[in-house]
Structure 1
Amino acid sequence: MPAHQPLASAPVGVLAADGPAPPGHRGELGGAAHALDAAFRTRSPLLAAYLPAGYPDPATSLDLLHQLAASADILEVGWPYTDPMMDGPVIQQAGAQALAAGFTVRHLMQTVRSLAPVTHVLVMGYYQPLYRYGLRRTADELAAAGAAGVILPDLNIDEAAPWLAEARRVGLHTVFVIAPTASDERLRRIAAAGGGMLYAPATAGVTGTTGSLSMSLPSLVRRLRTLTSLPVGAGIGVSRPEQAALIGQFADAAIVGSAFIRAVRDAPGRAGIAAAAQLAGELRQALRVTAVTAA
């Protein structure tokens, strides 16, 4: 697939649950998941761009995401939620704006369906909205819409079996965000259960950091390579082309999110969309230069 073509009350963004899914069998990977795997094999380092579905509003969101898709190999489409513990103020405010503008899960699925023919799509969300919407229902609808998989930063491997059963049943990848402090044994378990890639934190803390990347990031990626053959993407605090170029020297993907939201937030109307698209192009070019230099 070408990447550059045309329990009280639940928090907001959560619907009623159908309960945990029963254990399932490991199904075959879907076509979208296979296509993502092929992209990592043939043209990494890749650029993954994150943006919440429905941001800054439903009418603008799809246009903005398609503009990013012109440069990004992967779109991480966020599922807005009121308690995003891994995210800093920029993404928190963007998610709240999307919810206030009328985000629905139906809009999320329509967004994935629109983007899947032109790029690789991963949905990034938190476990509670998936659980409340229904694990089976979520997996079925995402697979039907053409998603390659789901990134769940708060999904603990010890509690992941119900979701993994549903994801495997329909051929979706599950991408885990790893903790650098985890033991080798635990990282092997996470890698064996997951798919698509592993998500390595490029900085400590929440998303949106604008300082330097962690000095230990290269060694973390090297460590992961001794434990698994899964690709490794690095995100959290990645915002500038020079940072993407550095990540491209040792990882398989640079993941950028808050910087796109800031670009849209800081310029009105079409100017914000153009600024985000320009940043995506600059990040993509930085990664291309890295790939050529490495070759």
Structure 2
Amino acid sequence: MALVSDRFRDLRAQGKCALIPFITAGDPDLETTAAALRVLDDNGADFIELGVPYSDPLADGPVIQAAATRALAKGVNLDAVLSMVKGMQLQAPLILFTYYNPILNRGIEAFMADIAAAGLAGLVVPDLPLEEVEGLLAAAAAAGIDVTLLVAPTSPAERIQAIAAQAQGFVYLVSVTGVTGIRSELQSRVKDLIDGLKQTTDKPVGVGFGVSDPDQAQQLKAWGADGVIVGSAFVKRLAADSPEVALSTIGDFCRQLKAALA
């Protein structure tokens, strides 16, 4: 599995903006999740974020919280998720999205070794404090995992610089204040945030939280984003119908987003 940073380097060399769908593992079930990963991989995803269901998902909006609750009710946990993805042959590098407490509970080194063995290429930890990032980054580097750090729109300039300096793979710019979810329009200040990050770091900038349609994805590319992360819109579609119909729906949606970023 290619490192996230390597794949982004290839995409940037081709002048391409990455499409990064997010889905919640285990909703409606792990079999459907595995099928969804393949559908997204076949329909233009450059990376795929896979959320591990968690009982207290502070960064997630109602759509993803509900998906995590349903998955947890079915007994889905990290071990089950890793078992599902292990051995999957995907073109798109897989990025695991999980909270910090499960990592600490397993032990940082053991966690990194386990996700690397399962074939994961990257990691996003939305509640990881910058002050505690050093040990996690060292363990990730030893395991060949790129850790992406999040920059909030309310972060002061000095903190943004510190986060961007530590981030691996790409810098995850949160486009809105608050939790994930579908928004009807993007705030114009996102352009200023992207511009500011570009002046701070030469690392790719991926923008997420609130991106819900091809027009918004196209707007973010025009504003200079190197990657566009779309979560709730995919999770909502996966939950809206039978697995067969939902998988077809997310495949169509993925192609539309990819075309908008072409």
TM-score tier, shorter chain, comes to over 0.9
Residue in structure 1 matching 2:161, options 181, 185, 188 = 188
Q: Decide which structure has the larger Cα Rg and report it.
A: 1
Alpha-carbon distance between aligned partners in 2 of 1:251 and 1:111, rounded to the nearest angstrom: 31
Question: Is the contact between residue 58 and residue 101 of structure 1 (CA under 8 Å) also seen in structure 2?
Answer: no
Q: What letter corresponds to residue 181 of structure 1 in structure 2?
A: T
Alpha-carbon distance between aligned partners in 1 of 2:45 and 2:88, rounded to the nearest angstrom: 12
Once the two structures are superposed, residues 165-216 of structure 1 have per-residue CA deviations (whole angstroms, 9 ceiling, x without a partner) of: 2112222111111122223222221112111111112223211132211210
Unaligned runs of at least 5 residues, structure 1: 2-30, 289-295
Displacement after TM superposition at 1:34 (Å): 4.8
Residue in structure 1 matching 2:189, options 216, 225, 238 = 216
Alpha-carbon distance between aligned partners in 2 of 1:115 and 1:191, rounded to the nearest angstrom: 31
Question: Is the contact between residue 93 and residue 122 of structure 2 (CA under 8 Å) also seen in structure 1?
Answer: no
Q: Percent identical across equivalent pairs?
A: 34
Alpha-carbon distance between aligned partners in 2 of 1:36 and 1:99, rounded to the nearest angstrom: 32
Runs of 4+ with deviation above 4 angstroms: none
RMSD of equivalent CA atoms:
1.7
Do residues 108 (structure 1) and 81 (structure 2) align? yes
Alpha-carbon distance between aligned partners in 1 of 2:6 and 2:118, rounded to the nearest angstrom: 15
Do residues 62 (structure 1) and 40 (structure 2) align? no
Alpha-carbon distance between aligned partners in 2 of 1:115 and 1:184, rounded to the nearest angstrom: 40
Residue in structure 1 matching 2:8, options 34, 37, 60 = 37
1:34–1:215: structure 2 CA closer, same or farther, 3 Å change rule? closer
Alpha-carbon distance between aligned partners in 1 of 2:75 and 2:202, rounded to the nearest angstrom: 41
Do residues 286 (structure 1) and 260 (structure 2) align? yes
Q: Return 258-267 or 222-231, whichever deviates more.
A: 258-267
Displacement after TM superposition at 1:116 (Å): 5.6
Unaligned runs of at least 5 residues, structure 2: none
Count of residues paired in the alignment: 259
Q: What letter corresponds to residue 83 of structure 1 in structure 2?
A: D
Do residues 258 (structure 1) and 229 (structure 2) align? no
Question: Is the contact between residue 27 and residue 239 of structure 2 (CA under 8 Å) also seen in structure 1?
Answer: no
Alpha-carbon distance between aligned partners in 2 of 1:127 and 1:102, rounded to the nearest angstrom: 20
1:164–1:116: structure 2 CA closer, same or farther, 3 Å change rule? farther
Q: Which residue of 2 aligns with 1:88?
A: 61
Q: What letter corresponds to residue 46 of structure 1 in structure 2?
A: A
Once the two structures are superposed, residues 35-83 of structure 1 have per-residue CA deviations (whole angstroms, 9 ceiling, x without a partner) of: 3333343342010010112221012110012111122111001111010
Question: Is the contact between residue 152 and residue 175 of structure 2 (CA under 8 Å) also seen in structure 1?
Answer: no
Q: Which residue of 1 aligns with 2:245?
A: 271
Question: Is the contact between residue 201 and residue 234 of structure 1 (CA under 8 Å) also seen in structure 2?
Answer: yes
Alpha-carbon distance between aligned partners in 2 of 1:220 and 1:114, rounded to the nearest angstrom: 38
Displacement after TM superposition at 1:154 (Å): 0.8
Alpha-carbon distance between aligned partners in 2 of 1:91 and 1:34, rounded to the nearest angstrom: 26
Question: Is the contact between residue 34 and residue 85 of structure 2 (CA under 8 Å) also seen in structure 1?
Answer: no
Displacement after TM superposition at 1:285 (Å): 0.7
What is the TM-score with the length of structure 2 in the denominator? 0.93
Residue in structure 1 matching 2:220, options 234, 247, 256 = 247
* Within-5 A mapping of 1:138-149: 138-149=111-122
